[in-house]
Amino acid sequence: MDFVVDANILFAAFIKNSTTRGILLTKTPMPLKLCTTPFILEETYKYRTLLARKALLDENDIMEVVLELISASNIEIVKESELSKFKNKAEKVSPRENDAPYFAVALYKNCKIWSNDRLLKHQDAVEVVTTKELLGILDSLR
């Protein structure tokens, strides 16, 4: 089961020990295949000051720590070249312009987006699940 990881999911896991972090860093075999857009790195850089403050880290360490979280979580970063033919539709579907890259990955992979941003549910082309909904899905698979 593939899911696109939105920045708010990654940031939530990064900032504090939570259910989200537990899902991302679980060591038991998971039925999830996680992926994201390279744009997530731009968003991380953009919000590095805020992230550093919330995580009580030095701003200069943020990118390295986020990359380590992506690696430890086995999140695939889909290449931009693979997403190019999905960008136009993603821009039309996405409720906000800056979320279109996540929709492009979901359209490319034909999968759901994992995000706690309720606005992303205001479209009908891609299913968006919250962490709570994802936990329900995982529980039903057990």
Contact 102, 10 (CB under 8 A): no
Handedness of CA 80, 115, 34, 95 (dihedral sign): negative
C-alpha span between 126 and 112 (Å, rounded): 6
pLDDT at 27: 67
Domain count, the chain: 1
Provide the residue range defining the domain that includes 114: 2-141
Closest by alpha carbon to 111, among 64, 76, 139, 71? 76
pTM for the complete prediction? Answer: 0.93
C-alpha span between 2 and 110 (Å, rounded): 8
pLDDT greater at residue 124 or residue 26: 124
**Residue 51, domain CATH:** 3.40.50.1010
pLDDT tier for residue 28 given thresholds of 50, 70 and 90: low
